[in-house]
Structure 1
Amino acid sequence: MVDTQIKKPTQPALDFGRKIYRIGPKSRPFLLISARTAIITGILWIATATLAMYSLVNGSASITVGEALQAVAGNGDSFTTMIVVEWRAPRILLAILLGATLAMSGAIFQNLTANPLGSPDVIGFQTGSYTGALIVMLVIGGSSAATMVGALTGGIVTAMVVFFLASKRGFAGGVRLIIVGIGVSAILASINVWILLTASVEDAIMASLWGAGNLSGTSWKSLALAAVGSIVFIGTAVLLARPMRLMQIGVPFAVALGQNVKVVQIMAVIAGIGLTALATATAGPISFIALAAPQIARRLVHVDGLALAPSAAVGSFLLILADTIAQRINPESPLPVGIVTVSIGGVYFLWLLLREGRRK
């Protein structure tokens, strides 16, 4: 006798790749994160913490992990405390913070423009920040605080000009925004070269070091200023994550669900510009983090849209890795971190081009 009973297919108890966690109210969560995203993001933060501990104890003055922990707890000797607490710790924490802010800014602009090239360093915001800083440093002759204000102002003004020139019927399209941004960036780069050529050799060298992206000389004060400013813009970006995902599906779809698309776009632009401008004002233009980190994050977590959490984790890991390499590749004359990030970004995009070429 044949058993004709239909058996239900067995289902796995838990699918770590597809399970979705909701953060926020049940009816309207402001953040959705898959189990795969959570696991990979956690692994990235563990790798970042491991690299941070290595940078804390390793260098021209080698310190054991126990000595470093004692110095952090306030029980170390004066020499170890100076090395660990006053020099290395704020630099490491600033690298982690700025890597996250730059990556989140890149993710926002790439989502808004629907183009992987729509990052702040391509659109010209970082070049504008450098122009503002150069005017303060070499033309006006302001202090370091005034230089930060000049960099912030330059980045914001450049962003306003780019969006004004790229706007059509009140909206700046993706390709149009990138083309206008590249053109404005080229003009500002020429102005920057002219300012450097008219300055004295010593001033030009110092300004060029700042323009290469440099984390040296970081203090707890500069870290605190960057952290306070970043909290506001990071919070804004997190709150905008859900409406930006809806907009990526389609503007009519987002409008039908009650989203004010124009307000969301304006707030997203403000958050993205603020994250980039703060990072540039604190450490100078650090290229390729905002461009590469979101793309690497999306490939790791297998999503096509906005991926703020993994992008921030990748950005922090890349920047602290670049800073670690910059300090140790030639200990007697450490490199600016921006030079290493450009090298890492170049290698990544070379691999990407070769990979796409093989596919075709």
Structure 2
Amino acid sequence: MVNTATSTADSELEFGRKIFRIGPKDRPFMLIGARTAVITVSLWLATAVIAIFSLVDGSASITVAEAFAALTGNGDSYTNMIVVEWRAPRTLLAILLGATLAMSGAIFQNLTANPLGSPDVIGFQTGSYTGALIVMLIIGGGSTQTLIGALIGGITTALVVFFLASKRGFAGGVRLIIVGIAVSAMLASLNVWILLTASVEDAIMASLWGAGNLAGTSWNSLLLAVVGSAIFIVMAAFLARPMRLMQIGIPFAVALGQNVRLVQILAVVAGIGLTALATATAGPISFIALAAPQIARRLVHVDGLALAPTAAVGSFLLILADTVAQRIDPESPLPVGIVTVSIGGVYFLWLLMREGRRK
């Protein structure tokens, strides 16, 4: 009698060999790699074009030559103030946070094996917002303390969600999403209560920040975000291959010597860290983590964790949304989170209808 677990592991191992084989005869793998590279480069070029447009266009119009002179240290004081001090940090931060949010969404969607398993849906982003609000409005901490508070809030929320969603030591995708939505709703109520108990000025500032706002970005906040994100981006890059193997099957990953539980824990830490970083820097920005991984997979025709194109899509979407937000009403620019939520609502409905038709 054949052992079922052994036969399953053998079949998954053979399937994995077919997918991950690399060699001269592996033409499909090379074609997919070429397509991914072309699309990723194209997305970054499109992001660069929008970034240049955001540097030169606005209430104070700057030519490309003047912007270049300012960035190279040869501009006048007025142009330096507009381009270097105001617009450049905001543009670079939008590109960075778009990538971090998208990568976080890809990690959690891979872990839950569900396109709805993004941190803004299952409550981790709301938990990061709660931690940041506690530090900002109750403790009165600065930017570094707010980042730490957002990280602690996200990790604590993740632990609660995974504990409540676990059944026999395993948290299923759908169960995790349902529990996450419930916890997110309760934390949203707590966030409203914190805002109501704060002073009017502090509550208004926190509410504007809570809408997802890149206004007022400085080089110091950008530097803090770069340093913080570098750790989690490197962690996510090292976890990319083990997570792809786990998506094929846990027995296959174990057969190749992967420590599945350790990979899952590190992936959760990396995903929450990327989300908490973005939340602490610019407030909760929805939609990017939900949609960017799915858009990237459809563009490159790759299943699983595709971090490079996902990061490129996230950066493109956020810089585009921020550019639109600043120009809908130039006299009173909108927070970028309002634009991403408006677009994300339509995408979310389409995704729900698509999943419903499949079932």
Q: Same fold (TM over 0.5)?
A: yes
2:36 maps to amino acid: T
SS in 1 for 2:233: helix
2:324 is equivalent to residue 320 of structure 1: no
Residue 287 of structure 1 deviates from its aligned partner by 0.5
1:47 maps to amino acid: A
Tell me what 1:40 maps to: 39
Matches within 5 A, 1:32-111: 34-111=33-110
1:257 maps to amino acid: L
Residue 93 of structure 1 deviates from its aligned partner by 0.5
Distance 1:19 1:176 in 2: 34
Distance 1:39 1:290 in 2: 22
Residue 132 of structure 1 deviates from its aligned partner by 1.5
Tell me what 1:10 maps to: none
Q: Is 1:107–1:290's contact at 8 Å kept on the other side of the alignment?
A: yes
Residue 353 of structure 1 deviates from its aligned partner by 5.8
SS in 1 for 2:28: coil
1:238 maps to amino acid: A
Distance 1:334 1:140 in 2: 30
Matches within 5 A, 1:1-360: 18-20=28-30, 34-352=33-351
Query: Which consecutive unaligned segments of at least 5 residues does structure 1 have?
Result: 1-13, 22-32
1:151 maps to amino acid: A
Residue 350 of structure 1 deviates from its aligned partner by 4.2
Distance 1:358 1:126 in 2: 28
Q: Is 2:94–2:322's contact at 8 Å kept on the other side of the alignment?
A: yes
Instruction: Evaluate the alpha carbon distance shift between residue 144 and residue 225 of structure 1 in structure 2; reply closer, same or farther with a 3 A threshold.
Output: closer
Instruction: Evaluate the alpha carbon distance shift between residue 233 and residue 200 of structure 1 in structure 2; reply closer, same or farther with a 3 A threshold.
Output: same
Instruction: Evaluate the alpha carbon distance shift between residue 180 and residue 355 of structure 1 in structure 2; reply closer, same or farther with a 3 A threshold.
Output: closer
Distance 1:234 1:251 in 2: 24
Distance 1:76 1:221 in 2: 22
Q: Is 1:103–1:314's contact at 8 Å kept on the other side of the alignment?
A: yes
Name which one, 1 or 2, has greater alpha-carbon Rg: 1
Q: Is 2:151–2:272's contact at 8 Å kept on the other side of the alignment?
A: no
Q: Is 1:37–1:310's contact at 8 Å kept on the other side of the alignment?
A: yes
Distance 2:285 2:87 in 1: 19
CA deviations on 1:249-297 (whole Å, 9 max, x unpaired) are 1000111111111111111111111111111111110011000110111
The TM-score with structure 2 as length reference comes to 0.88
Instruction: Evaluate the alpha carbon distance shift between residue 93 and residue 268 of structure 1 in structure 2; reply closer, same or farther with a 3 A threshold.
Output: same
The TM-score with structure 1 as length reference comes to 0.88
What is the root-mean-square deviation in Å for CA atoms of aligned residues?
2.2
Distance 1:279 1:137 in 2: 16
Instruction: Evaluate the alpha carbon distance shift between residue 358 and residue 172 of structure 1 in structure 2; reply closer, same or farther with a 3 A threshold.
Output: closer
SS in 1 for 2:332: coil
CA deviations on 1:134-157 (whole Å, 9 max, x unpaired) are 222222333344333322221222
Distance 1:120 1:259 in 2: 25
2:59 maps to amino acid: S
User: Would you say how many aligned residue pairs link Structure 1 and Structure 2?
Assistant: 336
Query: Which consecutive unaligned segments of at least 5 residues does structure 2 have?
Result: 1-23
Distance 2:351 2:161 in 1: 28
CA deviations on 1:119-174 (whole Å, 9 max, x unpaired) are 10011111111111222222233334433332222122212222222233443221
Residue 359 of structure 1 deviates from its aligned partner by 9.0
Distance 1:286 1:174 in 2: 23
Percent of pairs with identical residues: 83
Residue 182 of structure 1 deviates from its aligned partner by 1.0
Q: Is 2:104–2:275's contact at 8 Å kept on the other side of the alignment?
A: yes
Residue 354 of structure 1 deviates from its aligned partner by 6.7
